[in-house]
Each structure stands twice: as C-alpha cells, then as structure tokens.
Structure 1
Amino acid sequence: MPSRPATVLVAGAYSVDLVLTDLRGPVSAGTEVWASGLDMVPGGAFTLAMGLRRLGRRAVWAADFGTDVFSREVLATARREDMDETGFRHHRRPVRNVTVALSGHQDRAMITYEEPVPARPLAESIDVFRPGVVMLPHLRFGPDMTDALEVAAQHGTRVFMDCQDYPGHIGMDEVRKTLAQVDVFAPNESEALRVTGAGTVEEALGLLAGLVPTVVIKQGAAGAVASANGRRAVQASLPVPVVDTTGAGDCFDVGFVHRWLDGSPLDDCLAAGVACGAAAVTGPGSSNALKAPELTAWLTRVPR
C-alpha cells in the first residue's frame, strides 16, 4: 500500500453496539429486566474515526472487517459518513465484534464479544501512513507496543491513548515504559483509580502525571481534570438530558484531540472534550457526535 500522510491514525477494532435503554429495574444474575428502548449503532474505534471526520479532520482508520452482518453494517455507515477506507482490511470470514450496552441514566453495563483476528502491527501502520497523531482506544503495552512507539518517535508522531477496561497497572514495568512514551493518557475516573491503585482522583492524577506529559481523567457528569507539564486544569460539564452514555468517552477524546491538533491550550482542549461528550449522551451510542459548526455552538454552553 502506498505511503501517504494522514493527520490522525485511529488504530482499533469496530464494534456494533446494541444499546438497551430505559431499563425497568436493576440488572442482576437470575433476573430478567425489560428495556423500553433499543438501538443498534456502530461503536468501538469507529466512534473516534467518525467523530474526527465530522469535525473536518483527516483521519485513517486501521480496522478489520469480515463477511458478517455486523461488519457490513459498520462499513455501510462508514461510507455514509464519507470516511477514509485506505486503512481497512477485508477478510473472507466473519469478523464479529458486538457490545450489548445496558444503559441507565448515569452509567451503563457492557458485555462484549470480539472475533479473534490477527491485527495489523501498529508499527507497520504508523510507518505506512506517517500520521501526525495516532489514537489508541485502549491501554496497550508489551514488545509490539514498544516497537510501535519507537516508530512513532522516528516519524514525529504524537500518541494519544485511552484506557478502557483492559488489564495493566503502573506497578508493571511494561506499563510504565509505555506510558512514558505516549503524549496523552486519558482514562476515566474508575480506570485511573484501577491503573494507579490510588484512593482518589487527585492522587491518581499525580501518579500518572509523573509518567505521562499530559494526563486527562474523564469524570462523566462531573467534567474532567487534567495535568500537562506540571499545570493542572479542571473543566466542569454541562447539564443535558441523558439518553445513553455509551460512546461519550470516545467523543470526549475526539473533541480533545481536535483542539490539541491545533496547539490549543489545555483548557480549550478540555472544553471541546466536554462539549463533545455531553452532546454524545443525548442520543444512542455516538449517533449525536458533533460536526464542526455544532461544536462551536456547544462550546458557548460549556462553563469556563
């Protein structure tokens, strides 16, 4: 595949999110709970690539698709969004990635199935596409990640990494080594506490700030807190009617990176992240991800 520049490389699998909303009771083993709403929307790393595209950013998404109905659904939606397909790989077998999200007004529980498929090495993707930024949707570490980060450094590629519920903590040498090589690490509150073993968000922020140049901790309805090169910033959220919180964190990431690419101050990056995250919860999955003019309007509502 010919090499060509890309502003952002998104490296991660798609998901189809089956979102059940307005649950009529708590979910627990041995019980049946009815939902009043059901939506099927693309998710996973699709949200990052689609959100950047809607904001007018040039993005390449490195993802795998198969012959199954879920792959076809996401591909059809990606084409409707006019997303760049040069990073897509197509397999002559199913590549099913599905998440069932049980969504309440404040949070959600998720059950995920991901079809095993050998991933394209991240180092190879960075070398081929030479992006300015690579976005990683979850915590990754180990020899392959070390190779990829070295290639990124050679090409001057900055690295933004989310966390999600993937194993790993800062007591592990490989995790500390990886975090020392990324530019931004953006867990949510529970992930930050788990990864650091800290008892408070402030403690977690301090521990992570000792490893990563920029740390962002997403706090849902409470907004976000961040530290960049010794400077701390806090951004409150804004009240909105909540339909579904699935994908809100990814939409926050999109807003943050959108402003970060422009070299905007940390406060402006957080404000854009909060605006995109708040807009996302007003619809199922990432269906309400903002376009550039909409982001401008939403930013007037973000408390500064």
Structure 2
Amino acid sequence: METTFDAVVIGDANIDLVVVGCDEVPQPGQEVFVDNMMMHVGGGAALFAVSLAKLGLQVAFNGVLGDDGNGRFIRERFAKYGIDTTMIKTSTVHNTGVSIAFNPDKDRSFITYAGSNLELQVDELDLEPITRGRHVHVTGYRGRRNHETYMAFVQSLKEKGVTLSCDVGWDDSGEWDSCIFDYMRHFDVFLMNETEALHYTGSDDVEESLRYMSTYCSHVVIKLGADGAIAMKNGVVTRQSAYRVKAVDTTGAGDSFNAGYLYGYLSGMDVVTSLQYGNVCGALSVGAYGGSTGTPNLDGLKAFILRHEAEAAVSDAAM
C-alpha cells in the first residue's frame, strides 16, 4: 500500500486550561484572582502531533473527541497545521477531556477530566488507514492494565511494515511492571524521561538504565530535562546538552522533544542531530504558554541553532 502520511499519531487529545499566577488552590468559599487563563490544545499525543506537523511532516491523528466546542477547537487547531483528522472518532457519551494546569512555570498541579480519551481502544482500531503512514507513534500504554492488548496491536502494526515509536509516560499505578521490556522489543524508537527510566529499571544511574533497556530495544532515548538527553542506538551511547532558556510553561516539553527527535529520525538524520533537534524543540516549548505554542517550524529550529552557535563562537573568542 502506498503511504500517505509521514506519521500517524495514536492517543490522547484534550483542552489544556493554563492558569497563570495561582499559588494556592482556593479554600471553600474563597475566590482567588490570577494573572491569566489560556486555552490550548493538550494531551501528550496531540502536542506531539502538532509539534511534528509544525516541522513540516505530513501527520494524521487517531483518537476520540467529544461532540462539543472543545472538540471543534482541537480539530480546528489540527487543521491549521495540516494534521489529517479523518481517523478521529466523535464520542456520543463523553465530552472532550479538559486538564487545568496551575503554576505552569514551576511545580505544576493538575485537575484533569479524561473525557472522550477514555473511549480510545486500540484493539478496535482499523489498521488499514493507520498503515497509510510510514511511521506510527503509539501512546496510552499502561503496563499490566492493557499490556496484552497493546502487545497484539503493535505486533499487528509491525507485520504491516511500519516503523514504530512510543513514549510510555508516567505509570500512575506505581507498579512500574517489567512487562514493559517485552513491549519495548517491537519498537524502532522508545522514549521516556529519566525518572521513568530509573523506576522501570530499578537503577539509580541513567546510563546503566539505558544500557539495560537497550538489550530489549536497539534505539532508546532518555530525556534528562535541563541536562539535555541521552540515547543509545545499536550499542552506541550519545549524550547532548540542553539549551539554557527562561521557562514560563514546562507543559509538553517532553512531547516537543519527541517531535524534534523523531523528525530527525524520520528524515534520516544521525542520533547527534536528532538529539539536537529534540533539545531545541524542548527549549523553545518552555518559553511560551501552552504545550506546543512555542515549538518551532523547521526554519525557526535552524535559526535557533545558528544563533546559539554564533553566540558560542563569540563567547569562545572572548575567553
């Protein structure tokens, strides 16, 4: 079958209501005034899809939205960036999910309604339109709670000849079950952050965790936040420092990193360049409110790199 999309993204989409300048949750009967409230597209899969589309790849989204104004808002934002929405189902049961984020510039707190995202069942998805993408990014894995279902799903996708990536996210069950390592075997690129990697492997050393996971997947990437990122591909470890920027909203920084990294991967670039692109997207993401508002297009990404290289050259010359 001829491919239509560079990537199909499967997972959650919701509204992020970002509350700026709220240092406390109101007590009963109390009203708290804040600096601002802003509405953005949210959900890890949706933020990744938008960020990847902004870089110029042809992206399709597969998920469930409510038949409401919030669902239409998300569809409109997807359309703005050329994201195909024909695989999105409309719920007749739930409204579109909403997540309220407090203190986006530091220790964030959330109130979340999952809404229509609860209806996404990968064992009910039609593989034919999904495999019109040459690559599929899968989210929503939740350990033992849906391990067998997701294993069957990704096995079926691999049999169709697509490449696969995954970002597992935080395990809210607290189990950090080792069944994830069998799941990793089916992926071409597997991403997680440092805290998740240490929990899953039971190690206190990120490079040790990376080497352990690489016995299951040949291409693993671990995000290190302000310290950048580290990857291991085919036995070779590569580490890349982060860019220093002022953060106003850390929501979606990891998803933006994923987009930059996978843009590099899907464009045939080496690990060093992919890590650099991931770090740029993560850095620019935190500089604006909203999980994908600050993520760049390709020209913006390259301009950011050139500017930092020029600044580094001036700094070196002054020493």
Percent identity between the two aligned chains: 28
Distance 1:274 1:170 in 2: 26
Q: Tell me the SS of whatever aligns to 2:288.
A: coil
Q: Tell me the SS of whatever aligns to 1:283.
A: coil
The range that moved more, 104-113 or 286-295, is 104-113
Q: Which residue number corresponds to residue 291 of structure 1?
A: 297
Distance 1:32 1:212 in 2: 51
Q: Which residue number corresponds to residue 57 of structure 1?
A: 57
Deviation at 1:259, TM superposition (A): 0.7
Matches within 5 A, 1:81-230: 81-115=81-115, 117-121=118-122, 124-130=125-131, 131-140=133-142, 142-166=147-171, 167=173, 171-172=177-178, 174-230=179-235
Aligned AA (2:266): L
Aligned AA (1:223): G
Distance 1:168 1:59, change over 3 A: farther
Distance 1:242 1:33, change over 3 A: farther
Distance 1:258 1:211 in 2: 23
Distance 1:118 1:231 in 2: 40
Distance 1:23 1:155 in 2: 48
Aligned AA (1:128): P
Distance 1:91 1:203, change over 3 A: same
Native 8 Å contact 1:168 1:195 kept in 2? no
Distance 2:300 2:257 in 1: 14
Matches within 5 A, 1:22-41: 22-24=21-23, 35-41=34-40
Give the aligned CA root-mean-square deviation in angstroms. Answer: 2.7
Distance 1:14 1:171, change over 3 A: closer
Native 8 Å contact 2:14 2:41 kept in 1? yes
Q: Which residue number corresponds to residue 16 of structure 2?
A: 17
The range that moved more, 249-258 or 284-293, is 284-293
Gapped regions of structure 2 (runs ≥ 5): 313-319
Distance 2:237 2:27 in 1: 42
Normalised TM-score (structure 2): 0.84
Structure with more strand by fraction: 1
Normalised TM-score (structure 1): 0.88
How many pairs were matched up? Answer: 301
Deviation at 1:232, TM superposition (A): 0.6
Q: Tell me the SS of whatever aligns to 1:300.
A: helix
**Whose Rg is larger?**
2
Native 8 Å contact 2:64 2:119 kept in 1? no
Structure with more helix by fraction: 2
Deviation at 1:148, TM superposition (A): 1.6
Deviation at 1:203, TM superposition (A): 2.7
Deviation at 1:262, TM superposition (A): 1.6
Distance 1:264 1:239, change over 3 A: same
Distance 1:203 1:155 in 2: 33
Distance 1:278 1:243 in 2: 11
Q: Which residue number corresponds to residue 275 of structure 2?
A: 270
Distance 1:122 1:49 in 2: 21
Instruction: Give CA-to-partner distance per residue, 1:94-151, whole Å, 9 cap, x none.
Output: 3321112223534423332212543253684443331221112344552221222222
Q: Tell me the SS of whatever aligns to 1:6.
A: coil
Q: Tell me the SS of whatever aligns to 1:40.
A: strand
Distance 2:4 2:75 in 1: 23
The range that moved more, 203-212 or 265-274, is 203-212
1:253 to 241, 255, 258: 258
Distance 2:135 2:256 in 1: 17
Matched, 1:244 2:245: no
Distance 1:168 1:145 in 2: 19
Gapped regions of structure 1 (runs ≥ 5): none
Distance 1:8 1:75 in 2: 17
Q: Tell me the SS of whatever aligns to 2:149.
A: helix
Q: Tell me the SS of whatever aligns to 2:19.
A: strand
Q: Tell me the SS of whatever aligns to 1:295.
A: helix
Distance 1:100 1:253 in 2: 23
The range that moved more, 3-12 or 265-274, is 3-12
Instruction: Give CA-to-partner distance per residue, 1:274-293, whole Å, 9 cap, x none.
Output: 00111111111211121111
